[in-house]
Each structure stands twice: as C-alpha cells, then as structure tokens.
C-alpha cells in the first residue's frame, strides 16, 4: 500500500471570509465548547475526521452507534457529537446557526443546527464501549459530564484552536501530507501513543518500520488521554529525547490533538482512519490497544486482541495496513531486545511493568539503562519526584472541639522544624474567616466550604508544598471528592480525630455545645446535624488517651511510613 498524498478537504473558509464570518457570528447564539469538544472540532475542521463535515446528525449518530457506519454507508466507529445542557438546547431551534467558542470566548467555527435530540446514552454506552459501566472513563464522561441533548450539523471553520505549547510539533493532516510529499516518503508507519517511550517502544517501532520498509511517524496523542496518564508536556519532552535514537531522517514526530475515548477495538479502527487522513499507510496496533482498564467487576473491558481483530476486518476500508505490535523484552545474556516469542531458549528475560516503573519513580529507586534512556528517566523524575519531595495534604476531620486545630498546629510546627517544604495550615475557623465568610452550616454550604479547602490544598500539593486542613468535613462523599482532586497531584492523608461527641461536649471549649443543646445554634454537628465517621482513614487518633505532642507525633510517623518525609 502506498499513499495518495493529495490534500484532503478541510472545513475552513478563506482568511477573508473568516474575518467577515467572525463579525457576523458575534450576533449568533453561542455555545462554549468543552475541552473535549475543542479537540473534536479541531480534527473535524482540519480533516483529521474526514469524511465528517460537522458534528453527527441524528441519522449518522444512529448508524455509527449501531453499525459503525454513517448514513451514507461510510465506515465511522466513533460518535462525534455536540452535547449541550437542556438549558442551552432550549435556546436553539433546528435550522439556526450557532457560534462555537473556545473557553476564552474566541469564535472557532459556526454550525448550522440540522438536528437536536435526546440520545439514549445507555444504548450508546453498550454499543460503542461494550458496557454501560461507569468504570469505563468514556461511559463515565457520557453519563456524568456530557450534556443531555445532542446537536448535529455541518461546521464552518473560522480558525484553529490556539495552542501555545509545542507549536512547531503540531501538524494538520495536510501539513503532514505535504511534509511526506516533500521528503518523498511513500510508506509511513504511524505509532499511536499516550505513554512515554522507553527502549522497548523504540525497538518495536524501529522494527515495525523496517519490516514494512517504511518511514516512521511517532504520532502521540496530546489532547485528552486516560485520567492519570503522564501529562503531555512531560511526554513530549521525553519523545523529543527518543527521536534522536532513530537513524537520521527515517523518523518524524507530530502531535495529535485527539480526545481519546479508550474504546479499545472501535478506537483502533478510528485511530486507523485518522492516520489514513494524515497520509499514513501503516498503523501499529498492539495488545489491548486504547484499553480502558478494568470494569467494575475487576475484569478487562475487552479481550487483548479484540482491537487487532476488528481492525483486520475493516482494514481495506480504513485504508491503512495494520502492523501488529510485538511485545519486546530485554534478554540479559544477549544485552538486546527481542520479540517475546523469539527469545532464545534458556535466556533470562528482564522486564519492568508500568506499575513497577511508577513505584520506582515514586520511591526514587534506580531505573536501569536497559529499560529506558537516561534523558527520558531524567524528564520523568523531574515531573514525578520521589515522594519525599512531592507535595501532600494532611486532612484532619472530626467534631468541633475534638482537637483538630490543636494537633494541626503542633504538626505544622514539627514539619516546619524539619524544613524542606512550605507548610500551610487551612484551619476550619481561619478558612471560614478568610475564604468562606459568607457561608453558613447547611449541607450545601459545608460542601462548598470543603471543596474550597480542597481546591486550595490541591494547588499547594501540586506545587510541592504541604497543606494541613482541619475542618469538621462531616460528609464522606465530599471528603472523597476532595481526596480525588488532591491525589491527582500527591498524597492525601485523612486523619480522623476520633474524640467522642460526649468528650467534645464535656470539654466544650468554646461553649458552643451548650448553645447547641439550648437550640441557640442550629445544625450543630453531632448534636443536630450528621457526621459520617471515616471508614478507612489513613490514621485514626484517640485524643482521650494521648497528649497533643503524641498525637502530632503519630501523624509524623505515618508520614514517614508513607515515604513522604525522611526520618
Ligand atoms: S464544616 O462543616 O467542615 O464546613 O465546618 P468548619 O468549617 O470546620 O467550621 C466548624 C467551626 O465552626 C463553628 N461552628 C459550627 N460547627 C458545626 N456546626 C455548626 N452549626 C457550627 N456553627 C459554628 C465551630 O466552632 C467549628 O470550629 P471547630 O474548630 O471545628 O471547633
């Protein structure tokens, strides 16, 4: 298969028309695009999603969901839909033009709304992702992030979404086609990735290109990948380091602003179509391509070779040839990589899993040169310093008067004595004075208060500091949400200050329990308002049998055992 590098259709109008349209579109009803919709729109406009001419109509959507085909019969496996809220949908009539704006309000495109409908999301989840299970990131997105109503219709492109990072590494399909034409590349193997490249990947991509007698395009996704992945800034710096390891002028790299769905087999077909649009002739599909991980029953969503099977079935329609990904392992005796099925008998195989790599990074352990390139390891270590250098949050929870603030203060002083990281105390009373002065104690207000504390703590954690929070935080769901926000950046240590309500009332240091009993303070936690006991806190402290110094010391010991501070 050799490529046809003629330009493919884009949805942009000329510069002059765009300027005019932009002024006119200022008067249209606007939709503010979500980050995922911006990724989708970019690929619609630049031809990456050719033959789509806009967000799917209802008829196209039904065909795509049920049979992976557009209404005209063309293969298309992924619903590219413009989801909006019911409130937004009420403002829009079929036949109307709307302006599509980015998050700063810049008009990127207009769309003529030809269709407006309420999709059956359960059915979409079953058909497209294989299960209506929110453990799947795209199903979770479908039910919990996407709007209830879909709008469909053709798009007129005004301008590309703006990117300030790695501009010279981003190419439209036509830019890549022109580049391949210029260099006389007739066969190109694309490698899709959302992970940093290590030696095994370099070996396998190099072999794939050699086998297909083709040039190689490293085509990483920098739009949206799986939650928890290494951020794309770090990955691109890693890719740039690996690029030097290929024989000169055989290989290039370009960044793809795709929002992945982790849809396994369907996603592989979609990825193939996208690469065909980018002028590639071959595409590497591996074991568990674009796999979403485990379902809620702890089983894989897709079989390991489902993606390869589906791709093979549609290969001629996709227009690129599949190169199957070989699992490469390092053979110690030969000091080189081999495909796992070609390892000489009796030789020793060395391999480091993704989980093991993360553990080594977290704990600052050695990552051997046979596994990765030193430049890549240095980049990864810069973004994932060992735990003893990362930020973290200690989150105290407990009744009013349980001793949270006192222990938190003692802990702060001990951590400051040790030095090394800035420490911030977000005490309940202090926060209510400075951040949440307008809030009361209804469930809604308490949640807002805790979410604010969580937001500040997550920023502190992200930037390498220590946040100590000491609110009552009575609701388990809110504590869990805060934990999730913070764990994206560092450790979250929930400390339950387990002083009983009777003891708190007996101490009544602020006289509030008396007032609560007299009904002079309403909704008082533990008296007239609920408190969900933490079920699995990292630490539970009994203050009735230990003094403050000892309580704070228990936290220090916990932090040491988690590798967050060094003894
Ligand atoms: S919450 O639920 O987490 O938002 O509460 P928090 O921000 O930690 O604020 C608790 C402090 O406010 C005082 N206070 C009350 N607490 C509980 N219920 C009611 N109705 C109430 N009204 C005022 C109380 O002094 C708490 O301080 P601490 O430091 O916990 O004793």
**Best mutation site among 396, 429, 523 for ligand 1 pocket (most ligand atoms within 8 Å of CB):** 429
Closest residue by Cα to atom 24, ligand 1, is 400
Q: Is 524 in the pocket of ligand 1 (CB under 6 A)?
A: yes
Q: Enumerate the active-site residues.
A: 193-195
To 10 degrees, the CA torsion angle through 490, 494, 495, 496? 170
Percent of the chain at pLDDT above 70? 99
pLDDT at 327: 83
Structure letter (DSSP) for residue 511: S
Residue 445 near ligand 1, beta carbon < 6 Å: no
Question: CA neighbours within 13 Å on the CB side: how many for 554?
Answer: 20
Q: Token match 């203060």: residue?
A: 409
Pocket perturbation via mutation, ligand 1, pick of 425, 426, 427, 441 by most ligand atoms within 8 A of CB: 441
Please, what are the domains in the chain?
15-157 (3.10.400.10), 167-329 (3.40.50.620), 387-561 (3.40.50.300)
4 pLDDT tier (thresholds 50, 70, 90): confident
Ligand 1 neighbourhood includes 453 CB (under 6 angstroms): no
Looking from the CA of residue 401, the nearest atom of ligand 1 is 31
Q: What is the pLDDT of residue 1?
A: 55
467-493 pLDDT tens trace: 999 999 999 999 988 998 898 889 999
Tell me the three state secondary structure of residue 376.
Answer: helix
Q: Which residue has the CA at smallest separation from atom 25 of ligand 1?
A: 400
Calculate how far, in angstroms, residue 462's C-alpha sits from the geometric centre of ligand 1: 27
CA of 428 to the centre of ligand 1 (A): 7
**What is the C-alpha to C-alpha distance for residues 401 and 285, in angstroms, rounded to an integer?**
59
* CA dist., res. 430 & res. 287, Å (int): 52
Question: Cis omega (within 30 of 0) on the bond before 290?
Answer: no
Most informative mutation of 405, 495, 508, 512 for ligand 1 (most atoms within 8 A of CB) = 512
Q: How far is the CA of 400 from the centre of ligand 1 (A)?
A: 6
The CA distance from 560 to 567, in Å, is 6
Strands (E), 163-270: 188-193, 215-220, 251-253
Taking the CA of residue 441 as reference, the ligand 1 atom at the shortest distance is 20
Task: Write the pLDDT tens digit of every residue in 147-173.
Answer: 999 999 999 999 999 999 999 999 999
Q: Check if 396 has its Cβ closer than 6 Å to any atom of ligand 1.
A: no
Provide CB contacts within 8 A for 400, sequence distance 6+.
472, 504, 510, 512, 513, 524, 525, 526
510 C-beta closer than 6 A to ligand 1: yes
pLDDT average, residue stretch 297-316: 96
Q: How far is the CA of 525 from the centre of ligand 1 (A)?
A: 8
- Specify the pLDDT at position 567: 73
- The pLDDT confidence band at residue 519, using thresholds 50, 70 and 90, is very high
Query: Ligand 1 mean position to 162 CA, how many Å?
Result: 45
Compute the distance between CA of residue 269 and CA of residue 271 in angstroms, rounded to an integer: 5
Instruction: Give yes or no for a contact between 216 and 243, defined as CB atoms under 8 angstroms apart.
Output: no
C-alpha 548 – ligand 1 centre gap (Å): 20
CA distance 232 to 238: 10
The answer to whether the CB of 499 is under 6 A from ligand 1 is no
Residue 264 pLDDT more than 70? yes
Model confidence band, residue 30 (pLDDT cutoffs 50, 70, 90): very high
503 with 398: CB under 8 angstroms? no
Strands 251-253 vs 215-220: parallel, antiparallel or unpaired: parallel
Regarding the beta carbon of 472 and ligand 1, being less than 6 Å apart is answered: yes
pLDDT of residue 224 exceeding 90 = yes
């Amino acid at each position: 298969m050799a490529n046809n590098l003629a330009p493919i259709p884009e949805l942009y109008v000329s510069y002059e028309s765009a300027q005019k349209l932009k002024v006119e579109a200022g008067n249209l009803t606007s939709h503010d695009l979500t980050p995922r919709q911006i990724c989708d729109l970019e690929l619609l406009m630049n031809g990456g999603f050719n033959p789509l001419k806009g967000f799917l109509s209802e008829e196209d959507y039904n065909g795509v969901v049920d049979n992976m085909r557009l209404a005209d019969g063309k293969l298309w496996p992924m619903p590219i839909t413009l989801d909006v809220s019911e409130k937004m949908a009420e403002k829009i009539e079929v036949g109307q033009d709307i302006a599509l704006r980015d998050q700063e309000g810049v008009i990127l495109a207009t769309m003529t709304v030809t269709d407006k409908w309420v999709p059956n999301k359960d059915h979409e989840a079953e058909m497209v992702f294989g299960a209506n299970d929110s453990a799947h990131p795209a199903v979770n997105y479908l039910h919990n992030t996407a709007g209830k109503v879909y709008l469909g219709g053709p798009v007129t492109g005004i301008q590309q979404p703006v990117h300030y990072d790695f501009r010279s590494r981003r190419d439209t399909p036509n830019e890549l086609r022109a580049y391949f034409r210029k260099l006389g590349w007739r066969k190109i193997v694309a490698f899709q990735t959302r992970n940093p490249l290590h030696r095994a990947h370099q070996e396998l991509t190099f072999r794939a290109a050699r086998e297909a007698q083709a040039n190689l395009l490293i085509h990483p996704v920098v739009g949206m990948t799986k939650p928890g992945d290494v951020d794309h800034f770090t990955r691109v710096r890693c890719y740039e380091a690996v690029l030097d390891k290929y024989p000169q002028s055989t290989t290039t790299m370009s960044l793809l602003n795709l929002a992945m769905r982790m849809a396994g087999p369907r996603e592989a077909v979609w990825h193939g179509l996208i690469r065909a649009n980018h002028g590639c002739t071959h595409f590497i599909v591996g074991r568990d391509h674009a796999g979403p991980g485990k379902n809620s029953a702890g089983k894989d969503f897709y079989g390991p070779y489902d993606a390869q099977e589906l791709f093979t079935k549609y290969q001629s329609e996709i227009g690129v040839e599949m190169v199957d990904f070989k699992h490469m392992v390092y053979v110690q005796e030969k000091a080189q990589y081999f495909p796992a099925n070609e390892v000489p008998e009796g030789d020793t195989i060395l391999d480091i899993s993704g989980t093991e790599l993360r553990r080594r990074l977290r704990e600052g352990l050695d990552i051997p040169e046979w596994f990765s390139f030193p430049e890549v390891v240095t980049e990864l270590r810069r973004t994932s310093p060992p735990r003893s250098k990362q930020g973290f949050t200690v989150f105290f929870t407990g009744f009013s008067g349980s001793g949270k603030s006192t222990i938190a203060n003692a802990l702060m002083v001990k951590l400051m004595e040790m030095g090394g990281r800035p420490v911030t105390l977000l005490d309940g009373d202090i926060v209510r004075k400075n951040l949440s002065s307008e809030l009361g104690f209804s469930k809604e207000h308490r949640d807002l208060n805790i979410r604010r504390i969580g937001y500040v703590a997550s920023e502190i954690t992200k930037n390498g500091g220590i946040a100590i929070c000491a609110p009552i935080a009575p609701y388990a769901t809110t504590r869990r949400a805060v934990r999730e926000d913070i764990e994206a950046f560092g450790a979250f240590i929930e400390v339950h200050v387990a002083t009983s309500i009777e003891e708190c009332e007996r101490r009544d240091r602020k006289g509030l329990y008396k007032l609560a009993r007299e009904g002079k303070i309403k909704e008082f936690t533990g008296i007239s308002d609920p408190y969900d006991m933490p079920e699995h806190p990292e630490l539970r402290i009994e203050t009735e049998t230990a003094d403050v110094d000892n309580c704070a010391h228990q936290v220090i010991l916990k932090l040491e055992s988690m590798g967050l501070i060094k003894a």
